[in-house]
Chains A and B, each alone.
Chain A
Amino acid sequence: MESAVLRTVGLSAYYGDNLVVKNVSLSISEDRITAIMGPSGCGKSTLVRCFNRMHELTPGAKIEGQVFLKEEDVYEMNPITVRTRIGMVFQRPNPFPMMTIRDNVIAGYKLNGIKLNRSKRDEIVEASLKEAALWDEVKDYLHKRGTFLSGGQQQRLCIARALAVKPEILLFDEPTSALDPKATAHIERLMTDLKKTATLILVTHNIAQAGRVSDFIAFLYLGELIEFGPKGRLLTTPKDKRTEEFLTGKFG
Protein backbone atom coordinates (compact mmCIF):
# COMPACT_ATOMS: atom_id res chain seq x y z
CA MET A 1 0.00 0.00 0.00
CA GLU A 2 1.20 3.46 -0.83
CA SER A 3 1.31 6.18 1.78
CA ALA A 4 -2.16 7.16 2.99
CA VAL A 5 -2.96 10.84 2.90
CA LEU A 6 -6.44 10.42 4.33
CA ARG A 7 -7.56 7.65 6.61
CA THR A 8 -10.83 6.98 8.40
CA VAL A 9 -11.17 4.74 11.42
CA GLY A 10 -14.61 3.39 12.31
CA LEU A 11 -16.36 6.42 10.85
CA SER A 12 -20.14 6.64 11.33
CA ALA A 13 -22.38 9.58 10.44
CA TYR A 14 -25.93 10.39 11.46
CA TYR A 15 -28.68 12.74 10.44
CA GLY A 16 -30.63 12.95 13.67
CA ASP A 17 -31.18 9.30 14.60
CA ASN A 18 -30.63 8.13 11.04
CA LEU A 19 -27.38 6.25 10.61
CA VAL A 20 -26.24 6.97 7.05
CA VAL A 21 -22.56 5.99 7.15
CA LYS A 22 -21.77 2.82 9.07
CA ASN A 23 -18.40 2.20 10.62
CA VAL A 24 -16.28 2.94 7.56
CA SER A 25 -12.50 2.43 7.71
CA LEU A 26 -10.67 3.46 4.59
CA SER A 27 -7.22 4.63 3.47
CA ILE A 28 -6.84 7.01 0.53
CA SER A 29 -3.51 6.94 -1.29
CA GLU A 30 -1.62 10.07 -2.15
CA ASP A 31 -1.78 11.47 -5.69
CA ARG A 32 -4.30 8.94 -6.85
CA ILE A 33 -7.95 9.19 -7.78
CA THR A 34 -10.21 7.23 -5.52
CA ALA A 35 -13.81 6.80 -6.54
CA ILE A 36 -16.52 6.33 -3.92
CA MET A 37 -19.15 4.47 -5.86
CA GLY A 38 -22.60 3.23 -4.99
CA PRO A 39 -26.31 3.61 -5.70
CA SER A 40 -28.11 6.88 -4.88
CA GLY A 41 -28.71 7.42 -1.21
CA CYS A 42 -26.01 5.01 -0.06
CA GLY A 43 -24.23 7.69 1.97
CA LYS A 44 -21.37 8.47 -0.46
CA SER A 45 -21.81 12.22 -0.29
CA THR A 46 -22.20 12.14 3.47
CA LEU A 47 -19.01 10.14 3.75
CA VAL A 48 -16.89 12.66 1.85
CA ARG A 49 -18.57 15.54 3.63
CA CYS A 50 -17.20 14.03 6.84
CA PHE A 51 -13.69 14.35 5.41
CA ASN A 52 -13.77 18.16 5.20
CA ARG A 53 -16.18 18.59 8.11
CA MET A 54 -19.04 19.86 5.97
CA HIS A 55 -21.36 17.19 7.36
CA GLU A 56 -21.49 18.82 10.78
CA LEU A 57 -23.05 21.97 9.27
CA THR A 58 -26.36 20.19 8.72
CA PRO A 59 -28.58 20.63 11.77
CA GLY A 60 -28.85 17.38 13.71
CA ALA A 61 -25.76 15.85 12.11
CA LYS A 62 -23.53 13.65 14.25
CA ILE A 63 -20.23 11.88 13.68
CA GLU A 64 -18.48 8.98 15.40
CA GLY A 65 -15.03 7.59 14.71
CA GLN A 66 -11.96 9.37 13.39
CA VAL A 67 -10.62 10.91 10.21
CA PHE A 68 -6.88 11.47 9.80
CA LEU A 69 -5.33 13.91 7.35
CA LYS A 70 -1.71 12.74 7.16
CA GLU A 71 -1.15 12.09 10.87
CA GLU A 72 -3.52 14.75 12.23
CA ASP A 73 -7.00 14.00 13.52
CA VAL A 74 -9.32 16.18 11.42
CA TYR A 75 -11.80 16.49 14.27
CA GLU A 76 -9.12 17.92 16.54
CA MET A 77 -8.21 20.56 13.99
CA ASN A 78 -9.92 23.86 13.28
CA PRO A 79 -12.61 23.10 10.66
CA ILE A 80 -11.50 26.14 8.70
CA THR A 81 -7.96 24.82 8.35
CA VAL A 82 -9.34 21.43 7.37
CA ARG A 83 -11.40 22.96 4.59
CA THR A 84 -8.51 24.93 3.14
CA ARG A 85 -6.47 21.73 3.02
CA ILE A 86 -9.31 19.59 1.64
CA GLY A 87 -11.08 21.39 -1.20
CA MET A 88 -14.47 20.50 -2.59
CA VAL A 89 -16.32 20.65 -5.92
CA PHE A 90 -20.06 20.24 -5.72
CA GLN A 91 -22.76 18.52 -7.73
CA ARG A 92 -24.09 21.73 -9.18
CA PRO A 93 -21.62 24.38 -10.30
CA ASN A 94 -21.80 27.10 -7.65
CA PRO A 95 -19.69 30.12 -8.56
CA PHE A 96 -20.43 33.19 -6.44
CA PRO A 97 -22.98 35.09 -8.53
CA MET A 98 -22.02 38.55 -7.29
CA MET A 99 -18.31 38.16 -8.04
CA THR A 100 -16.30 38.51 -11.25
CA ILE A 101 -14.54 35.49 -12.70
CA ARG A 102 -11.24 36.72 -11.28
CA ASP A 103 -12.71 37.25 -7.82
CA ASN A 104 -14.29 33.83 -7.95
CA VAL A 105 -10.92 32.22 -8.52
CA ILE A 106 -9.30 34.01 -5.60
CA ALA A 107 -12.43 33.85 -3.44
CA GLY A 108 -10.63 31.61 -0.95
CA TYR A 109 -8.18 34.44 -0.27
CA LYS A 110 -10.57 37.35 -0.64
CA LEU A 111 -13.23 35.99 1.66
CA ASN A 112 -10.65 35.16 4.26
CA GLY A 113 -9.45 38.73 4.21
CA ILE A 114 -6.03 37.90 2.74
CA LYS A 115 -4.63 40.78 0.72
CA LEU A 116 -2.72 39.73 -2.37
CA ASN A 117 -0.69 42.18 -4.35
CA ARG A 118 -1.60 42.60 -7.97
CA SER A 119 1.09 40.45 -9.53
CA LYS A 120 0.62 37.64 -7.01
CA ARG A 121 -3.12 37.76 -7.59
CA ASP A 122 -2.78 37.62 -11.36
CA GLU A 123 -0.30 34.80 -11.03
CA ILE A 124 -2.67 32.72 -8.90
CA VAL A 125 -5.65 33.46 -11.16
CA GLU A 126 -3.78 32.49 -14.30
CA ALA A 127 -2.19 29.37 -12.86
CA SER A 128 -5.44 28.12 -11.32
CA LEU A 129 -7.46 28.74 -14.45
CA LYS A 130 -4.82 27.00 -16.53
CA GLU A 131 -4.87 24.02 -14.21
CA ALA A 132 -8.63 23.93 -14.54
CA ALA A 133 -8.28 24.15 -18.36
CA LEU A 134 -10.40 27.29 -18.46
CA TRP A 135 -7.79 30.01 -19.02
CA ASP A 136 -8.05 30.24 -22.80
CA GLU A 137 -11.83 30.52 -22.69
CA VAL A 138 -12.12 33.26 -20.07
CA LYS A 139 -8.85 35.19 -20.09
CA ASP A 140 -10.53 38.15 -21.79
CA TYR A 141 -13.54 38.18 -19.49
CA LEU A 142 -11.89 38.05 -16.07
CA HIS A 143 -13.63 41.24 -14.99
CA LYS A 144 -17.09 39.91 -15.87
CA ARG A 145 -19.43 37.97 -13.66
CA GLY A 146 -19.20 34.23 -14.10
CA THR A 147 -22.93 33.72 -14.53
CA PHE A 148 -22.87 33.87 -18.34
CA LEU A 149 -20.56 30.84 -18.57
CA SER A 150 -21.93 27.45 -19.58
CA GLY A 151 -22.52 24.80 -16.91
CA GLY A 152 -19.28 22.99 -17.74
CA GLN A 153 -17.29 26.23 -17.72
CA GLN A 154 -18.86 27.20 -14.40
CA GLN A 155 -17.87 23.84 -12.96
CA ARG A 156 -14.28 24.32 -14.16
CA LEU A 157 -14.36 27.79 -12.60
CA CYS A 158 -15.33 26.13 -9.32
CA ILE A 159 -12.44 23.70 -9.74
CA ALA A 160 -10.06 26.62 -10.32
CA ARG A 161 -11.47 28.29 -7.21
CA ALA A 162 -10.77 25.16 -5.18
CA LEU A 163 -7.27 24.75 -6.69
CA ALA A 164 -6.30 28.36 -6.01
CA VAL A 165 -5.88 27.74 -2.29
CA LYS A 166 -3.59 24.73 -3.05
CA PRO A 167 -5.47 21.96 -1.31
CA GLU A 168 -3.78 18.63 -0.64
CA ILE A 169 -6.99 16.77 -1.35
CA LEU A 170 -9.83 17.68 -3.68
CA LEU A 171 -13.28 16.16 -3.15
CA PHE A 172 -15.52 15.88 -6.22
CA ASP A 173 -19.12 15.25 -5.21
CA GLU A 174 -20.75 13.95 -8.42
CA PRO A 175 -19.26 16.90 -10.30
CA THR A 176 -20.77 16.00 -13.67
CA SER A 177 -24.31 15.07 -12.69
CA ALA A 178 -25.63 18.47 -13.80
CA LEU A 179 -23.61 18.56 -17.04
CA ASP A 180 -24.03 17.37 -20.61
CA PRO A 181 -21.85 14.52 -22.00
CA LYS A 182 -19.34 16.83 -23.69
CA ALA A 183 -18.75 18.90 -20.58
CA THR A 184 -18.58 15.68 -18.59
CA ALA A 185 -15.79 14.32 -20.80
CA HIS A 186 -13.91 17.60 -20.37
CA ILE A 187 -14.13 17.45 -16.58
CA GLU A 188 -13.11 13.79 -16.50
CA ARG A 189 -10.01 14.52 -18.61
CA LEU A 190 -9.24 17.40 -16.30
CA MET A 191 -9.44 15.16 -13.24
CA THR A 192 -6.87 12.74 -14.64
CA ASP A 193 -4.54 15.68 -15.28
CA LEU A 194 -5.01 17.00 -11.76
CA LYS A 195 -3.63 13.84 -10.21
CA LYS A 196 -0.19 15.45 -10.32
CA THR A 197 -1.35 18.36 -8.18
CA ALA A 198 -3.54 16.77 -5.56
CA THR A 199 -5.16 13.64 -4.28
CA LEU A 200 -8.61 13.34 -5.78
CA ILE A 201 -11.67 11.72 -4.28
CA LEU A 202 -14.61 11.30 -6.65
CA VAL A 203 -18.13 10.51 -5.55
CA THR A 204 -20.14 8.93 -8.36
CA HIS A 205 -23.04 6.59 -8.93
CA ASN A 206 -21.83 6.02 -12.46
CA ILE A 207 -19.81 2.81 -12.85
CA ALA A 208 -18.42 3.82 -16.23
CA GLN A 209 -17.16 7.12 -14.86
CA ALA A 210 -15.47 5.40 -11.93
CA GLY A 211 -13.88 3.03 -14.44
CA ARG A 212 -12.67 5.83 -16.71
CA VAL A 213 -11.27 8.15 -14.11
CA SER A 214 -10.23 6.39 -10.94
CA ASP A 215 -7.29 4.33 -9.72
CA PHE A 216 -9.06 2.90 -6.71
CA ILE A 217 -12.74 2.26 -6.12
CA ALA A 218 -14.61 2.00 -2.86
CA PHE A 219 -18.07 0.48 -3.16
CA LEU A 220 -20.54 1.77 -0.63
CA TYR A 221 -23.95 0.23 -0.09
CA LEU A 222 -26.53 1.34 2.49
CA GLY A 223 -23.83 3.24 4.35
CA GLU A 224 -21.48 0.28 4.58
CA LEU A 225 -18.11 0.00 2.88
CA ILE A 226 -18.57 -3.27 1.00
CA GLU A 227 -15.37 -3.45 -0.96
CA PHE A 228 -12.29 -1.35 -1.64
CA GLY A 229 -9.46 -1.98 -4.08
CA PRO A 230 -7.71 -1.12 -7.33
CA LYS A 231 -10.29 -0.43 -10.01
CA GLY A 232 -9.22 -3.21 -12.36
CA ARG A 233 -9.64 -5.84 -9.71
CA LEU A 234 -12.85 -4.47 -8.28
CA LEU A 235 -14.57 -4.01 -11.61
CA THR A 236 -13.59 -7.37 -13.05
CA THR A 237 -13.49 -9.73 -10.09
CA PRO A 238 -15.56 -8.35 -7.24
CA LYS A 239 -15.34 -10.38 -4.08
CA ASP A 240 -18.71 -9.44 -2.66
CA LYS A 241 -22.01 -10.51 -4.17
CA ARG A 242 -23.51 -7.03 -3.63
CA THR A 243 -20.70 -5.40 -5.63
CA GLU A 244 -21.28 -7.84 -8.43
CA GLU A 245 -25.02 -7.14 -8.38
CA PHE A 246 -24.39 -3.40 -8.56
CA LEU A 247 -21.92 -3.79 -11.42
CA THR A 248 -24.40 -5.89 -13.35
CA GLY A 249 -27.15 -3.37 -12.81
CA LYS A 250 -29.26 -5.33 -10.34
CA PHE A 251 -29.84 -2.18 -8.29
CA GLY A 252 -29.05 1.50 -8.27
Chain B
Amino acid sequence: MSLFRVRLRIAKDIGFKAMVIVLSFLSVAPLLFILFYVIGNGLSSLNWNFLIEIPKPVGEIGGGIVNSIVGSFLLVIIASLPSIPLGIAAGIYLSEHKESKLTYWGGLAVEVLQGTPSIVIGIIAYLWVVVPMGGFSALSGGIGLGIMMLPMIIKTTEETLNLMPDFLKEAALALGVPYYRTMLRVILPAAASGIMTGVLISVARIAGETAPLLFTAFGNAFMNWNVIKPVNSLPLLIYNYATSPYPEWHRFAWGASCVLVGFVLTLNLSVRIIIKRWKVRF
Protein backbone atom coordinates (compact mmCIF):
# COMPACT_ATOMS: atom_id res chain seq x y z
CA MET B 1 0.00 0.00 0.00
CA SER B 2 1.42 3.37 -0.94
CA LEU B 3 2.44 5.79 1.73
CA PHE B 4 0.11 8.35 0.23
CA ARG B 5 -2.92 6.13 0.73
CA VAL B 6 -1.98 5.44 4.33
CA ARG B 7 -1.64 9.16 5.01
CA LEU B 8 -4.96 9.77 3.37
CA ARG B 9 -6.61 7.19 5.60
CA ILE B 10 -5.03 8.67 8.69
CA ALA B 11 -6.21 12.12 7.66
CA LYS B 12 -9.71 10.76 7.18
CA ASP B 13 -9.52 9.19 10.61
CA ILE B 14 -8.57 12.47 12.24
CA GLY B 15 -11.19 14.36 10.25
CA PHE B 16 -13.87 11.91 11.31
CA LYS B 17 -13.00 12.19 14.95
CA ALA B 18 -13.03 15.98 14.75
CA MET B 19 -16.43 15.89 13.11
CA VAL B 20 -17.85 13.61 15.79
CA ILE B 21 -16.55 15.89 18.52
CA VAL B 22 -17.84 19.06 16.88
CA LEU B 23 -21.29 17.61 16.17
CA SER B 24 -21.55 16.23 19.71
CA PHE B 25 -20.87 19.58 21.27
CA LEU B 26 -23.13 21.33 18.80
CA SER B 27 -26.00 19.14 19.85
CA VAL B 28 -25.73 20.05 23.50
CA ALA B 29 -25.47 23.75 22.63
CA PRO B 30 -29.28 24.16 22.64
CA LEU B 31 -29.36 23.32 26.33
CA LEU B 32 -26.97 26.16 27.05
CA PHE B 33 -28.86 28.53 24.72
CA ILE B 34 -32.18 27.69 26.30
CA LEU B 35 -30.85 27.96 29.84
CA PHE B 36 -29.20 31.32 29.14
CA TYR B 37 -32.28 32.60 27.40
CA VAL B 38 -34.66 31.49 30.14
CA ILE B 39 -32.45 32.86 32.90
CA GLY B 40 -31.59 36.03 31.00
CA ASN B 41 -35.22 36.86 30.35
CA GLY B 42 -36.76 35.45 33.46
CA LEU B 43 -34.43 36.44 36.25
CA SER B 44 -35.44 40.10 36.12
CA SER B 45 -39.08 39.29 36.90
CA LEU B 46 -38.17 37.04 39.80
CA ASN B 47 -38.70 38.60 43.19
CA TRP B 48 -40.47 37.72 46.38
CA ASN B 49 -43.83 39.16 45.29
CA PHE B 50 -43.65 37.15 42.08
CA LEU B 51 -43.66 34.00 44.18
CA ILE B 52 -46.41 34.95 46.64
CA GLU B 53 -48.98 36.92 44.63
CA ILE B 54 -51.61 35.83 42.16
CA PRO B 55 -51.55 37.24 38.61
CA LYS B 56 -52.96 40.72 37.88
CA PRO B 57 -55.19 41.55 34.90
CA VAL B 58 -53.67 42.89 31.67
CA GLY B 59 -52.31 46.41 32.07
CA GLU B 60 -51.73 46.24 35.80
CA ILE B 61 -48.16 45.94 36.95
CA GLY B 62 -46.95 43.20 39.29
CA GLY B 63 -48.68 40.02 40.27
CA GLY B 64 -47.22 36.61 40.76
CA ILE B 65 -47.50 32.92 40.17
CA VAL B 66 -48.38 31.53 43.57
CA ASN B 67 -51.64 30.05 42.32
CA SER B 68 -49.76 28.16 39.60
CA ILE B 69 -47.21 26.87 42.06
CA VAL B 70 -49.99 25.70 44.37
CA GLY B 71 -51.81 24.17 41.38
CA SER B 72 -48.74 22.31 40.18
CA PHE B 73 -48.20 21.06 43.70
CA LEU B 74 -51.81 19.86 43.96
CA LEU B 75 -51.60 18.12 40.60
CA VAL B 76 -48.39 16.32 41.49
CA ILE B 77 -49.89 15.14 44.79
CA ILE B 78 -53.08 13.90 43.14
CA ALA B 79 -51.04 12.09 40.51
CA SER B 80 -48.61 10.53 42.99
CA LEU B 81 -51.05 9.26 45.59
CA PRO B 82 -52.45 6.39 43.53
CA SER B 83 -49.62 5.99 41.03
CA ILE B 84 -46.67 5.44 43.36
CA PRO B 85 -48.11 2.50 45.33
CA LEU B 86 -49.80 1.01 42.28
CA GLY B 87 -46.67 1.35 40.19
CA ILE B 88 -44.41 -0.17 42.84
CA ALA B 89 -46.80 -3.08 43.41
CA ALA B 90 -47.06 -3.77 39.68
CA GLY B 91 -43.27 -3.48 39.37
CA ILE B 92 -42.86 -6.10 42.12
CA TYR B 93 -45.18 -8.45 40.24
CA LEU B 94 -43.32 -8.00 36.96
CA SER B 95 -39.95 -8.72 38.54
CA GLU B 96 -41.12 -11.59 40.78
CA HIS B 97 -43.20 -13.54 38.26
CA LYS B 98 -40.98 -13.52 35.21
CA GLU B 99 -42.56 -16.60 33.65
CA SER B 100 -46.15 -15.52 34.01
CA LYS B 101 -48.27 -14.53 31.01
CA LEU B 102 -49.48 -11.47 32.87
CA THR B 103 -45.88 -10.28 33.13
CA TYR B 104 -45.53 -10.50 29.37
CA TRP B 105 -48.70 -8.51 28.71
CA GLY B 106 -48.07 -6.15 31.60
CA GLY B 107 -44.57 -5.43 30.34
CA LEU B 108 -45.93 -4.72 26.89
CA ALA B 109 -48.66 -2.49 28.33
CA VAL B 110 -46.02 -0.51 30.22
CA GLU B 111 -44.00 0.04 27.04
CA VAL B 112 -47.08 1.13 25.10
CA LEU B 113 -48.27 3.37 27.91
CA GLN B 114 -44.87 5.00 28.12
CA GLY B 115 -44.91 5.75 24.40
CA THR B 116 -48.47 7.07 24.40
CA PRO B 117 -48.49 10.79 23.53
CA SER B 118 -49.40 13.00 26.46
CA ILE B 119 -52.16 14.70 24.51
CA VAL B 120 -53.92 11.32 24.15
CA ILE B 121 -53.69 10.88 27.92
CA GLY B 122 -55.30 14.32 28.14
CA ILE B 123 -58.26 13.13 26.04
CA ILE B 124 -58.60 10.07 28.28
CA ALA B 125 -58.62 12.11 31.49
CA TYR B 126 -61.20 14.37 29.87
CA LEU B 127 -63.43 11.45 28.91
CA TRP B 128 -63.06 9.61 32.21
CA VAL B 129 -63.19 12.47 34.69
CA VAL B 130 -64.19 15.80 33.17
CA VAL B 131 -67.23 14.45 31.28
CA PRO B 132 -68.78 12.50 34.19
CA MET B 133 -68.02 15.28 36.70
CA GLY B 134 -69.36 17.94 34.35
CA GLY B 135 -66.43 20.31 34.54
CA PHE B 136 -62.68 20.87 34.49
CA SER B 137 -60.88 20.07 37.71
CA ALA B 138 -57.54 19.55 39.40
CA LEU B 139 -58.62 15.95 39.94
CA SER B 140 -58.91 15.24 36.20
CA GLY B 141 -55.53 16.81 35.50
CA GLY B 142 -53.94 14.89 38.35
CA ILE B 143 -55.35 11.62 37.08
CA GLY B 144 -53.98 12.31 33.61
CA LEU B 145 -50.54 13.02 35.05
CA GLY B 146 -50.84 9.93 37.26
CA ILE B 147 -51.35 7.76 34.18
CA MET B 148 -48.19 9.28 32.71
CA MET B 149 -46.21 8.55 35.87
CA LEU B 150 -47.21 4.91 36.13
CA PRO B 151 -45.06 3.35 33.41
CA MET B 152 -41.96 5.20 34.62
CA ILE B 153 -42.44 4.01 38.21
CA ILE B 154 -43.20 0.44 37.17
CA LYS B 155 -40.15 0.25 34.95
CA THR B 156 -37.70 1.61 37.50
CA THR B 157 -39.15 -0.62 40.22
CA GLU B 158 -38.87 -3.68 38.02
CA GLU B 159 -35.36 -2.83 36.86
CA THR B 160 -34.11 -2.04 40.37
CA LEU B 161 -35.58 -5.24 41.81
CA ASN B 162 -33.99 -7.26 39.03
CA LEU B 163 -30.62 -5.95 40.18
CA MET B 164 -31.16 -7.14 43.77
CA PRO B 165 -28.90 -10.14 44.45
CA ASP B 166 -30.63 -13.45 45.19
CA PHE B 167 -28.73 -13.91 48.43
CA LEU B 168 -30.70 -11.11 50.09
CA LYS B 169 -33.96 -12.90 49.61
CA GLU B 170 -32.46 -16.28 50.54
CA ALA B 171 -30.94 -14.90 53.73
CA ALA B 172 -34.30 -13.60 54.91
CA LEU B 173 -36.33 -16.63 53.86
CA ALA B 174 -33.86 -18.99 55.53
CA LEU B 175 -34.47 -17.14 58.80
CA GLY B 176 -38.11 -18.09 58.52
CA VAL B 177 -39.28 -14.67 57.38
CA PRO B 178 -42.46 -14.95 55.30
CA TYR B 179 -42.18 -14.00 51.64
CA TYR B 180 -44.26 -10.82 51.86
CA ARG B 181 -42.21 -9.56 54.80
CA THR B 182 -39.03 -10.41 52.93
CA MET B 183 -40.21 -8.30 50.01
CA LEU B 184 -41.49 -5.41 52.13
CA ARG B 185 -38.78 -5.26 54.78
CA VAL B 186 -35.65 -6.53 53.06
CA ILE B 187 -35.91 -6.23 49.29
CA LEU B 188 -37.83 -2.94 49.03
CA PRO B 189 -35.61 -1.10 51.57
CA ALA B 190 -32.52 -2.31 49.74
CA ALA B 191 -34.03 -1.14 46.46
CA ALA B 192 -35.39 2.10 47.91
CA SER B 193 -32.80 4.42 46.40
CA GLY B 194 -33.37 3.09 42.91
CA ILE B 195 -37.13 3.29 43.21
CA MET B 196 -36.94 6.77 44.73
CA THR B 197 -34.85 7.91 41.78
CA GLY B 198 -37.53 6.72 39.39
CA VAL B 199 -40.30 8.34 41.40
CA LEU B 200 -38.56 11.71 41.65
CA ILE B 201 -37.59 11.77 37.98
CA SER B 202 -41.17 10.99 37.06
CA VAL B 203 -42.33 13.82 39.34
CA ALA B 204 -39.95 16.14 37.49
CA ARG B 205 -41.40 14.94 34.21
CA ILE B 206 -45.07 15.44 35.07
CA ALA B 207 -44.42 18.77 36.77
CA GLY B 208 -43.44 20.08 33.34
CA GLU B 209 -46.29 18.51 31.39
CA THR B 210 -48.78 20.78 29.69
CA ALA B 211 -50.64 18.77 27.08
CA PRO B 212 -52.67 16.53 29.44
CA LEU B 213 -53.78 19.61 31.39
CA LEU B 214 -55.16 21.74 28.55
CA PHE B 215 -58.65 20.33 28.82
CA THR B 216 -58.54 18.83 32.31
CA ALA B 217 -56.97 21.15 34.91
CA PHE B 218 -57.70 23.90 32.37
CA GLY B 219 -56.14 26.83 34.20
CA ASN B 220 -57.42 29.36 36.70
CA ALA B 221 -56.44 32.97 37.28
CA PHE B 222 -57.19 32.70 40.97
CA MET B 223 -55.98 30.76 43.91
CA ASN B 224 -57.67 27.39 44.28
CA TRP B 225 -57.14 24.52 46.70
CA ASN B 226 -60.31 22.68 45.73
CA VAL B 227 -59.54 19.51 43.82
CA ILE B 228 -62.84 19.50 41.93
CA LYS B 229 -62.32 23.02 40.59
CA PRO B 230 -59.95 24.02 37.76
CA VAL B 231 -56.41 24.94 38.81
CA ASN B 232 -53.53 26.63 37.13
CA SER B 233 -50.14 25.03 36.83
CA LEU B 234 -46.76 26.47 35.89
CA PRO B 235 -46.66 24.95 32.39
CA LEU B 236 -50.26 26.01 31.71
CA LEU B 237 -49.49 29.54 32.82
CA ILE B 238 -46.41 29.65 30.61
CA TYR B 239 -48.41 28.38 27.64
CA ASN B 240 -51.23 30.87 28.05
CA TYR B 241 -48.97 33.83 28.69
CA ALA B 242 -46.36 32.95 26.07
CA THR B 243 -48.97 32.74 23.32
CA SER B 244 -50.65 36.00 24.37
CA PRO B 245 -49.98 39.23 22.47
CA TYR B 246 -48.79 41.26 25.49
CA PRO B 247 -45.05 41.77 26.00
CA GLU B 248 -45.42 42.17 29.78
CA TRP B 249 -47.14 38.79 29.89
CA HIS B 250 -44.22 37.34 27.96
CA ARG B 251 -41.85 38.64 30.63
CA PHE B 252 -44.13 37.11 33.21
CA ALA B 253 -43.99 33.79 31.37
CA TRP B 254 -40.19 33.93 31.25
CA GLY B 255 -40.16 34.40 34.99
CA ALA B 256 -42.42 31.38 35.43
CA SER B 257 -40.20 29.41 33.02
CA CYS B 258 -37.23 30.24 35.20
CA VAL B 259 -39.02 28.79 38.22
CA LEU B 260 -40.16 25.69 36.33
CA VAL B 261 -36.78 24.96 34.74
CA GLY B 262 -35.07 25.62 38.05
CA PHE B 263 -37.38 23.15 39.79
CA VAL B 264 -37.08 20.44 37.14
CA LEU B 265 -33.32 20.67 36.73
CA THR B 266 -32.65 20.86 40.46
CA LEU B 267 -34.78 17.78 41.01
CA ASN B 268 -33.02 15.94 38.18
CA LEU B 269 -29.56 16.91 39.36
CA SER B 270 -30.10 16.34 43.05
CA VAL B 271 -31.64 12.94 42.38
CA ARG B 272 -28.52 11.93 40.50
CA ILE B 273 -26.18 13.21 43.20
CA ILE B 274 -27.94 12.57 46.50
CA ILE B 275 -29.57 9.24 45.83
CA LYS B 276 -26.25 7.75 44.79
CA ARG B 277 -25.00 8.26 48.36
CA TRP B 278 -27.95 6.39 49.83
CA LYS B 279 -27.46 3.48 47.60
CA VAL B 280 -27.07 0.17 49.43
CA ARG B 281 -23.88 -1.54 48.36
CA PHE B 282 -23.57 -5.28 48.25
Q: Which of A90, A98, A112, A161 contacts B190 (CB 8 A)?
A: A98
Shortest beta-carbon distance, B188 to chain A, in Å? 10
B48 on the A face (CB < 8 A): no
Q: A80 and B171 in contact (CB under 8 A), knowing A97-B281, A98-B280, A147-B281?
A: no
A165: chain B residues within 8 A (beta carbon)? 175-176
Q: Which of B186, B190, B281, B282 contacts A111 (CB 8 A)?
A: B186
Q: Which of A52, A57, A110, A158 contacts B171 (CB 8 A)?
A: A158
Q: Is the CB of A107 within 8 A of B280?
A: no
Q: Is the CB of B181 within 8 A of A113?
A: yes
Type the 1/0 row for A161-204, where 1 means its CB is closer than 8 Å to any CB of B.
Answer: 11001000000000000000000000000000000000000000
Q: Which of B175, B177, B182 contacts A162 (CB 8 A)?
A: B175
Type the 1/0 row for B165-176, where 1 means its CB is closer than 8 Å to any CB of A.
Answer: 001101111111
Q: Is the CB of B174 within 8 A of A52?
A: yes
Q: Which of B178, B186, B280, B282 contacts A80 (CB 8 A)?
A: B178
B189 on the A face (CB < 8 A): yes
Q: Is the CB of A83 within 8 A of B171?
A: no
Q: Which of A96, A110, A113, A161 contacts B168 (CB 8 A)?
A: A96
A88 on the B face (CB < 8 A): yes
Q: Is the CB of A98 within 8 A of B172?
A: no
Among B167, B171, B185, B280, max chain A CB count under 10 A is at B171
Q: Which of A87, A92, A107 contacts B172 (CB 8 A)?
A: A107
B99 on the A face (CB < 8 A): yes
B99: chain A residues within 8 A (beta carbon)? 59
A54 on the B face (CB < 8 A): yes
Chain B residues touching A, majority SS = helix
Q: Is the CB of A88 within 8 A of B174?
A: yes
Please provide the chain B residues from 184 to 234 with a CB less than 8 Å away from any CB of chain A in the complex. Answer: 185-186, 189-190
A81 vs B176: C-alpha distance when bound (angstroms)? 6
How many contacts between A and B, using CB within 8 angstroms?
73
Total interface residues on B, CB under 8 Å, equals 21
Q: Is the CB of A98 within 8 A of B189?
A: yes
Q: A94 and B190 in contact (CB under 8 A), knowing A112-B177, A147-B281, A165-B176?
A: no
Residue of A at shortest CB range from B98? A59
Q: Is the CB of A111 within 8 A of B174?
A: no
Shortest beta-carbon distance, A55 to chain B, in Å? 11
A23 on the B face (CB < 8 A): no
A151 on the B face (CB < 8 A): no
Type the 1/0 row for A76-95, where 1 means its CB is closer than 8 Å to any CB of B.
Answer: 00001111110110101011
Q: Is the CB of A96 within 8 A of B174?
A: no
Q: Is the CB of B175 within 8 A of A84?
A: yes
A39 on the B face (CB < 8 A): no
Shortest beta-carbon distance, B28 to chain A, in Å? 37
Q: Is the CB of B174 within 8 A of A87?
A: yes
Shortest beta-carbon distance, B168 to chain A, in Å? 7
Shortest beta-carbon distance, B97 to chain A, in Å? 9
A211 on the B face (CB < 8 A): no
Q: Is the CB of B172 within 8 A of A111?
A: yes
A158: chain B residues within 8 A (beta carbon)? 171
B186: chain A residues within 8 A (beta carbon)? 96, 111
Binding site for A on B (CB under 8 A): 99, 167-168, 170-178, 181-182, 185-186, 189-190, 280-282
Q: Given A83-B176, A110-B185, A112-B175, 4 more contacts at CB 8 Å? A: A84-B176, A87-B175, A94-B168, A162-B175
**5 closest Cβ pairs, A-B complex:** A84-B176, A83-B176, A88-B174, A94-B167, A108-B175
Binding site for B on A (CB under 8 A): 52, 54, 57, 59, 80-85, 87-88, 90, 92, 94-98, 107-108, 110-113, 147, 158, 161-162, 165
